[in-house]
A and B are shown apart, each in its own frame.
Chain A
Amino acid sequence: MTDMTATQTQAEKLDSAASRKARIMGGILIALALLVLFVLDVVPGESATFRLTTRRDAIQIPDLVVPGAFNMVCAALLAFLGVRQLLRGGARWTSLSLGFGLLLLVMAFLVWATAGKAFNLTSMLQAAVLASVPIALGGLAGVMSERVAVVNIAIEGMLLAGAFAGALIGSLLGGWIGLVAAILVGGCFGLLLATLVVTFRMDQIIAGVVINLFVLGVTSYVSSQVFAEYRFLNNAKVFRAWEIPLLSDIPVIGPMLFDQNLFVYGAFILVGIATYYLFHTRNGLRARAVGEHPRAADTLGVDVYVTRYVHVTIAGMIAGFGGAFFTLGNVGRFEENMTNGRGYIGLAAMIFGRWHPVGALSAALIFGFADSIQQKLALLNTPIPSEFLAMAPYIATIIVVAGLVGRSRPPAADGKPYVKE
């Protein structure tokens, strides 16, 4: 017992990595406080109105009116958190403080942008969920393949391929067959990635980049060579939102979660299935073993190559489904490079979500939120140029990857080819 306390008192005096990080975070929080205080200051007396329901909704709840003084409170809270980090080096609460601090920043930002105006919060949240779908599915595809230790940079290409196949086949044979085609095409690219990295032991990152370039090349080529001439090939029917009775009447939550299209429900269900599969089934255990210690799995009779092939192909199918969202779930038309980096953001969501399906989904929701803020704020005439708002998710991704990589642990064999004998 005395041993333990001796160790602990000593640990506090030691120059530990955590306390250094805590100090940096403290500095960041104080900077955020100053940002809120001086940049996001609201004229006293002005207030922001957030609409939660529209007139058409069955259940009405009143608007949320936030006085401008709210931002002063935010700044004070941020400063308090920052000073606490600096003084105490509270290693345990560092990330929690940072998370809370960022939440405060976002709220202060919304209040500042909406000050003196009204803004429909529910429709933004609904758009956020929609925007997070391809990111979540991309992240889930990443989880499935990285859990068997195959780094999947090719998600971007798989999304794009799914979008393309969805549009083309959807235009010719209808939405459902288009959807199946998107999943199959995604699966094919998963299979291709598996072949390149498992059988031909190509560098996993190069293989991913190449698939992305290849898909971009093929889809752009067909789009300019064929679609430009034959427009009917690129005009699919879109899956409309399905309202779930009763549940969709719940204010705020209803429109967010229960008045969405197939892809939103699909993403949630797939995340549930993947979680159960990975952590509660025999094959899931084997898959994780292949990702952590392939040789151990091999000596116990688990076929490492087959496991990797199967899971990377499934990852491709998930990404293909996510890609179909861009065309069949949104605009019905394919455009060159329309995924525009969502696959990479999905990869960041996977890292943020610590290689766990639910984590990836949560992270994707945050990215989707950043995405939809950008779109909706354009309507509010904020002085921030639209390009900078468009950068927000990218900058957020960098911060996430930089801030969390040290703490989250990828599968031990991630990125390494497995050679028998």
Chain B
Amino acid sequence: MTEHDDLKGVNERMRSLMARTTHGRDDFEDLVIVPLFAVVVALVFGALIMLATAVDIPTIGRSFAALAIGSVGSLNAWSETLTAAIPLVLAGLGLGLGFRAGLFNIGAEGQLVMGGLAAVIAGFSLDFLPIVIHLPLTLLIGIAVGAGYAAIAGILKATTGAHEVISTIMLNLISFELLNWLLRQPWLQREGRSDPISKSVPDSAQLPQLLDWINPNLRLHAGLFVMLIAVAFIWWLLFRSKIGFAFRASGENPSAANYAGMKASFVIVLAMATAGGLAGLAGASQITGVLGRASPGFSAGIGFDAIAVALLGRSHPVGILFAGILFGGLEAGGRQMQVAAGVSIDLIGIIQALIIVFIAAPLLVRAIFPWGFRRNGRKEDAA
């Protein structure tokens, strides 16, 4: 009888232990309020900078209006926003995964260049293949080359301890030189051109446009689905799979991961390669979905913006998806802003940098906005 009661008590306790805790207000603050504030403050700073460079107030008003219209104001704007978001999200997913594993990979830009280059080469040299094989193969080759390029930094870190921040920055610079050199090679350069530009990717390796039946100028392409699949896959990888558990443990506490039998060098190389693969995919999708060919600087700083995207999205796949769309919107709106109000698109870069500052230093946001945060008040009580 008593034994039965004991058992019942144990079961009761176990059930209560296994009850999921609900997300508290703290999570809400971290995931919603801080990013929201960050974006608003960054926009305000952007206005101040325009003021400081002698842009008059009506123009500033027109700039922000153009920013809004250019990003979400029409079907075309949405198409542009999402088109810009695709490579940002893909590369951002890779960087976020790296952050989770404790790797600060600044090399997405170079990995993106290499992946894009590989896609161009695979695109024009394998043009005998049918689209069902050619297109996936082209993307896969982009992934593989991006992964391989990132793995260099991973292997260097795993074997010699070389810090990935410096090695990936150097690999970026090397990739730009490599790109410039390759674009001058006769087998890659477009026939009859003297400027550095590659041959085009044939239709069989192009990501189909999604909205050209409405208007052929709408650039949104099937990379959108690739992006969504990647978000789901990375979520599963990080939070459900065994290897993702090892990634996260290594990132949070490398020495505990080592103790738990996770091989640090394996995790570093694999996480780096996965991140590079996603950046390579971003490059390949940009080539096969938007550009169709490679030219100097075709990566356009996407790999650097993706760092901001990953930070803004808190290295969470879903967060990165939203952050990428936000940055895509800023990009698309920024172009409109430049055309309609004559304000340089470089302003967008400043706003993006400011957003990361406020995201990465939540204490700073709390200092600027003492209200709206419960934690702050609690701390004062304790002191």
A and B: partners? yes
The answer to whether B357 and A196 touch across the interface, beta carbons within 8 angstroms, is yes
Given contacts A218-B49, A221-B346, A390-B177, contact A405 B367 (CB under 8 A): no
Q: What size tier do the contact residues of chain A reach?
A: 35 or more
The answer to whether A217 and B349 touch across the interface, beta carbons within 8 angstroms, is yes
Q: State whether the Cβ of B36 lies closer than 8 Å to any Cβ in chain A.
A: no
The answer to whether B156 and A398 touch across the interface, beta carbons within 8 angstroms, is yes
Bound Cα distance from A200 to B367, whole angstroms = 9
Tell me the B333-383 residues at the A interface (CB within 8 Å).
Answer: 343-344, 346-350, 352-354, 356-357, 360-361, 363-364, 367
Tell me the B166-182 residues at the A interface (CB within 8 Å).
Answer: 166-167, 169-171, 173-174, 177-178, 180-181
Given contacts A153-B165, A394-B173, contact A217 B353 (CB under 8 A): yes
Which of B54, B160, B178, B343 has the most chain A CB atoms closer than 10 A to its own CB? B160
Q: State whether the Cβ of A206 lies closer than 8 Å to any Cβ in chain B.
A: yes
The answer to whether B178 and A402 touch across the interface, beta carbons within 8 angstroms, is no
Bound Cα distance from A185 to B124, whole angstroms = 49
Bound Cα distance from A207 to B307, whole angstroms = 12
Which residues of chain B have C-beta atoms less than 8 A from A340's C-beta?
Answer: 173
Instruction: Choose from A207, A210, A395 the contact partner of B170 (Cβ within 8 Å).
Output: A395
A157: nearest chain-B partner, CB-CB = B353
Q: State whether the Cβ of A57 lies closer than 8 Å to any Cβ in chain B.
A: no
Given contacts A201-B361, A397-B166, contact A214 B174 (CB under 8 A): no
The answer to whether B361 and A214 touch across the interface, beta carbons within 8 angstroms, is no
Instruction: Choose from A202, A222, A405, A406 the contact partner of B364 (Cβ within 8 Å).
Output: A202
Instruction: Choose from B53, B160, B347, B353 the contact partner of A210 (Cβ within 8 Å).
Output: B353
Instruction: Choose from B161, B346, B348, B367 the contact partner of A225 (Cβ within 8 Å).
Output: B346
Q: State whether the Cβ of A164 lies closer than 8 Å to any Cβ in chain B.
A: no
Given contacts A213-B304, A220-B346, contact A387 B177 (CB under 8 A): yes
Q: State whether the Cβ of B321 lies closer than 8 Å to any Cβ in chain A.
A: no
Q: State whether the Cβ of B322 lies closer than 8 Å to any Cβ in chain A.
A: no
The answer to whether B350 and A210 touch across the interface, beta carbons within 8 angstroms, is no
Bound Cα distance from A217 to B334, whole angstroms = 13
Q: State whether the Cβ of A401 lies closer than 8 Å to any Cβ in chain B.
A: yes
Bound Cα distance from A344 to B343, whole angstroms = 31
Q: State whether the Cβ of A247 lies closer than 8 Å to any Cβ in chain B.
A: no
The answer to whether A203 and B360 touch across the interface, beta carbons within 8 angstroms, is yes
Q: State whether the Cβ of A52 lies closer than 8 Å to any Cβ in chain B.
A: no
The answer to whether B356 and A217 touch across the interface, beta carbons within 8 angstroms, is no
B350: nearest chain-A partner, CB-CB = A217
Which residues of chain A have C-beta atoms less than 8 A from B171's C-beta?
Answer: 398
Minimum distance in angstroms from A387 CB to a CB of chain B = 4
Bound Cα distance from A200 to B362, whole angstroms = 8
Which residues of chain B have C-beta atoms less than 8 A from A203's C-beta?
Answer: 360
Tell me the A175-231 residues at the B interface (CB within 8 Å).
Answer: 196, 199-203, 205-207, 209-210, 213-214, 216-218, 220-226
Which residues of chain B have C-beta atoms less than 8 A from A387's C-beta?
Answer: 177-178, 180-181
Q: State whether the Cβ of B162 lies closer than 8 Å to any Cβ in chain A.
A: yes
Given contacts A213-B352, A390-B177, A402-B156, contact A225 B360 (CB under 8 A): no
Which of B307, B343, B356 has the most chain A CB atoms closer than 10 A to its own CB? B356
The answer to whether A348 and B360 touch across the interface, beta carbons within 8 angstroms, is no
Which residues of chain A have C-beta atoms less than 8 A from B106's C-beta?
Answer: 209
| A residues apposed to B, CB below 8 Å | 153, 196, 199-203, 205-207, 209-210, 213-214, 216-218, 220-226, 340-341, 344, 347-348, 351, 385, 387-388, 390-391, 394-395, 397-398, 401-403, 405-406
| B residues apposed to A, CB below 8 Å | 49, 53-55, 104, 106, 156, 160-163, 165-167, 169-171, 173-174, 177-178, 180-181, 184, 304, 307-308, 311, 343-344, 346-350, 352-354, 356-357, 360-361, 363-364, 367
Q: Which 10 A-B pairs have the closest CB atoms?
A: A217-B349, A221-B346, A217-B350, A214-B353, A387-B181, A202-B361, A402-B162, A213-B353, A200-B361, A387-B177
